[in-house]
Structure 1
């Protein structure tokens, strides 16, 4: 373990010094494996990601609906594994996205503070445990959203559980910038970004309305994320896809977008490359499905953004331009004649 930590420290030191991503720095320090030693999808700097779209249900009081959602998540986990995925990512509300009217303590005709005692928490925990068990069986990292219960009377977090290929929850991301309704009636906001590493590839997590906050995506660039996983139930026509592509291109990393199957007609789930191009998308016909892509720094879609643009932007932000500035009256005079 100590040797592994020292090795990763060397890789991160090089990445910080050169402005490279973790996976790019990794190639310069770790000898390239032979083709016989490691499968293509498992080589350093490459990982196979699946993003899913599933039907989202809205009543956490309905135990059978929660079980149906759990079964559908596990079915798509098996499909992702069959396609060689190392990690699979699910949409906000994959198990349930509670309706504000159904949860309102003031009754269905008036939106008020949510009564979370109505949630079938034992059933929800049972489905999450079954998902974790399958992740261990398939050796598949699984990122699945769910409400995370806090000690009463505090409202739960709206969260992304990161379940390792050993079936353990290794971290959890809690949505930080909530919509007005979520903040007022449903959830407690989170406080920090979260990253996790799988096979040398670093992932960041975002949820829900956070697609609209470019500063959160920029924060993950500074944290050396190679890919940001965004789970949301919001899918405005044209707007969602364009924002995802913009965040990917501006920050020079992959973005996995996972949305409910109900919204696939306007914004199907998919993976955007560091240059903003869509690499793969789920069908836009409402069917539960997964889109699978190899994230690889050496790919044509990533080469310019990851190798050149991202390091240069870091240098610019760090002040590389200050050494080229001059003291010149014509520079300082904003009203100087042509």
Structure 2
């Protein structure tokens, strides 16, 4: 892994210095010496989790049970050899819009964020952060992120390193109508981070519906997008699953879908390979579980570089401006 990670860093450094595309820099470095072998396919073990759905942030005992379940799955992921474990949106707590509504539960209105045991949430997140360091496993987990009053919180993904540090946070940008109207403050930026030479991007909530999010991450040269959702799909509605497969196939990168465990859900957690097929999926019985896959980074895959080249004006020199009237003459 180290050799491939170093090579990728050299490619990125050259691209940044010269202004070349990643593909051009890769070609130059590979061809620098005739006897220099191309980097081999490397891999990193990724675990995706599904956890019990919990939506009442006033329930301190429930928050603690949620935290304990997350940490148990972290231990199982580490025992399976995973370097990173990926959890769903709201894995700590996905606040119910009716419980939070100041005018609810009969109607949905602006959320009253005093209805949240923030101190308990912080304790559980701190325990999770410490365990990530003890286990030596990167942990990406969905949680509400409190902002100063009177601002609404973010709906976020926390990224905790294998040394137990909070290294970055992704805030959901493309919020649903209910979220933007009554619940959350939107984020504004994509987020990437590197583990063992593999670059990961983050997406959240309903962002699978927005191709521009995934196109942006392709341009940021990610190897895998970690998409976390509460699911919320009714039985038979597989929109998120199909979209995740499509993004993986279109951009030739891995996509991990982490959803909450719901009986009868159409979208269990799973990991889609660059060809669009599911490499592994969690059980559909609504129980907490893991799916574990070695995701690979094949520098000799020609599809992704070609699609990048195709988007840079490659075809303009080959286009022909023909008189449509000549077609009519030829036909008749």
Change (3 A) 1:235 1:101: closer
Tell me by how many angstroms 1:240 deviates: 2.0
* Pairing 1:255-274 to 2, within 5 Å after superposition: 255-262=255-262, 265-274=265-274
Q: Distance in 2 between matches of 1:215 and 1:204?
A: 13
Any gaps of 5 or more consecutive residues in structure 1?
33-42
Q: Distance in 1 between matches of 2:326 and 2:117?
A: 68
Q: Distance in 2 between matches of 1:260 and 1:181?
A: 19
* Pairing 1:296-335 to 2, within 5 Å after superposition: 296-298=296-298, 307-326=301-320, 328-330=321-323, 333=324
Count of aligned positions: 314
* Pairing 1:1-150 to 2, within 5 Å after superposition: 10-13=10-13, 17=20, 19-20=22-23, 45-150=42-147
Any gaps of 5 or more consecutive residues in structure 2?
none
Change (3 A) 1:127 1:335: farther
Tell me by how many angstroms 1:44 deviates: 7.7
The aligned residue for residue 240 of structure 1 is 240
Q: Distance in 1 between matches of 2:260 and 2:310?
A: 38
TM-score normalised by structure 2 residue count: 0.87
Q: Contact 1:255/1:273 (CA < 8 Å) preserved in 2?
A: yes
Q: Contact 2:41/2:297 (CA < 8 Å) preserved in 1?
A: no
Q: Distance in 1 between matches of 2:240 and 2:265?
A: 12
What are the superposed Cα offsets for residues 241-298 of structure 1, whole Å, 9 maximum, x if unpaired? 1111001001110000000111564111110000001000111111111100011124
Change (3 A) 1:153 1:334: farther
Change (3 A) 1:50 1:59: same
Q: Distance in 2 between matches of 1:96 and 1:259?
A: 13
Tell me by how many angstroms 1:9 deviates: 5.1
Q: Distance in 2 between matches of 1:24 and 1:234?
A: 41
Bigger shift: 263-272 or 251-260?
A: 263-272
Q: Distance in 1 between matches of 2:322 and 2:102?
A: 67
Q: Contact 1:27/1:44 (CA < 8 Å) preserved in 2?
A: no
Q: Contact 2:231/2:267 (CA < 8 Å) preserved in 1?
A: no
Q: Match of 2:206, SS?
A: helix
RMSD over aligned Cα atoms: 2.7
Q: Match of 1:132, SS?
A: helix
Q: Distance in 1 between matches of 2:24 and 2:72?
A: 34
Q: Distance in 1 between matches of 2:31 and 2:81?
A: 26
The aligned residue for residue 293 of structure 2 is 293
